[in-house]
Amino acid sequence: MSILKIDNLGFQYGNTTILKDLSLHIQGSGLYALHGESGSGKTTFINIIALIQKPSAGKMALFNQPIDFTNQEQIDNYRKKIAYFFQDLNLIESLTVRENLHVISLINEQEISNERLEEQATKLKMSEKLDVTVSNLSGGERQRAAFLKIMLFEYSLILLDEPTNNLDKDNIQMMLGMLSELKKTKTILVVTHSDTVVQHADVVLRFEDLNKKDQSI
């Protein structure tokens, strides 16, 4: 099955072209690493895939279905199928980790299995942090709390934007181990500057090769 199909995608911000004639086709499970220079438009690109931003041109299909960016009902339904690990982690500071997970559960209409929660929290060394407010977590703990959301629920596509920021070497290895398990059955697209993450990828995509905005015709 085609998970993601993008044809001639474009995005402009004012008079500035961020993306131009960008095409990408991903089929099946695996870990796909997207790397490139800072400010090259990678986050804009992944925001479009996550249905957060609307492209200026081009076509996109998810799970064999064309996306109509003007159809809010379709957008809302498809967002529930996509896990997105934001650079800013997108956690509610005033809530505990468990409460943040409950919010995601309501949004995605997926019940939380307490057995699965305990299992995944143990793997991420977060069992004793589930009832701690996010504002009282360290940077690495926040990173792992955000990753716990991805491990806990069922998604058809997982998008990760610099997931190893703020993690030490041991935590990076732990996260890569979990991604190695996930990629057997899930499609994972990760934006990264980390050579370690790139080395673990099944497919490496150089963003500058995909995005035609700086290439002469």
pLDDT bracket for residue 7 (50, 70, 90): very high
- Relative to beta strand 187-191, strand 30-35 is parallel
Residue ranges per structural domain of the chain: 30-41+73-210
pTM of the entire predicted model = 0.88
So what's the architecture of 30-41+73-210 in CATH?
3-Layer(aba) Sandwich (3.40)
> For the segment 125-172, what is each residue's pLDDT rounded down to a tens digit?
999 999 999 999 998 899 889 889 888 999 999 999 888 877 788 888
